[in-house]
Amino acid sequence: MPRFKDQPYWLFLVWLLVTGFAAFGLMVCWSEGLLGLLFDSDRSRICLIIGLLYLLGSAHCARRALFLARETEHVRSVSEHIGNRVVRVESDGESRVKIDGHALDADSVIGEHLQTLIRRGDKPHESAPEGEQSSLIGTLVAHTKGSHDLGWFMVDVLLKLGLLGTIVGFILMLGSVADTASLDVNTMQKVLKQMSNGMGTALYTTLAGLVGSMALGLQYLLLDKGADDLIERIVRLTDSRLTFV
């Protein structure tokens, strides 16, 4: 029985499934009025910033998921074309690589990696010195994972913004008490209302930051898994079925 990861464009399909569940949850919250309550209760407007950053991060995840899915499909097609044979990799002199007559774009992840191996002229991951082998794998990882580090930074920013909103909410809550000169009934009612607004800011921004960071972190975790799968496929292919001499 074929693995799910062997299905075409599996990474992008899983990303669509995850994003679909998130969109469904947002629509339910919108229909129940929870999103409106969230933004109305947040006097700092940090929830709006969190929402915009989440949408920006999700758009970046969509782009990366489609890129990794295409690259994985490219490697899979090459592997199926070769079968169980051991074939020689050649360069056509036009920044492209040929494997048994199958041309690869040098701008692709596997094409760029094979160009590096052709310049070395031997089996990379088996016979290369340890330092050079680490350099080859490190370059492949950097090309494959691209800007994922920026994405994980954005996940951390969402969490920190939620904590910042907590601090701002407590400042608003305590500020209403500090400005109170007397404690009559009318003043206390006003103070309690202002304190509830500050507490709402603290709690809702914390909630938005936690949910946003977890949802976006799940997407980038999926991208890292897809990148690791692509690296594994490339290394396994070059080690077992390709020769460069």
Q: What's the pLDDT score for residue 78?
A: 80
Q: Which two tokens stand for residue 142?
A: 């950097």
**Non-local CB neighbours of 225 within 8 Å, separated by 6+ positions:** 11
**238 with 124: CB under 8 angstroms?**
yes
* pLDDT values of the chain reduced to their tens digit, one per residue, 245 residues: 456 666 778 889 999 999 999 999 999 989 988 888 888 888 888 999 999 999 999 999 999 999 999 989 888 888 887 777 777 777 766 567 777 666 777 677 877 777 777 776 554 545 455 545 567 777 788 888 878 999 999 999 999 999 999 998 888 887 766 666 566 666 667 767 777 777 888 888 999 999 999 999 999 999 999 999 998 888 888 877 777 65
**161 with 51: CB under 8 angstroms?**
no
Buried b (16+ CB within 10 A) or exposed e, 152-166: bebbebbbebbebbb
Q: Residue 139's closest CA among 122, 116, 118?
A: 116
Helix (H) or strand (E) holding 125: helix 124-127
Q: What's the pLDDT score for residue 208?
A: 92
Q: Which two tokens stand for residue 233?
A: 């496929």
Q: What's the pLDDT score for residue 1?
A: 41
pTM, two decimals, is: 0.83
**Residue 96, strand partner residues:** 105
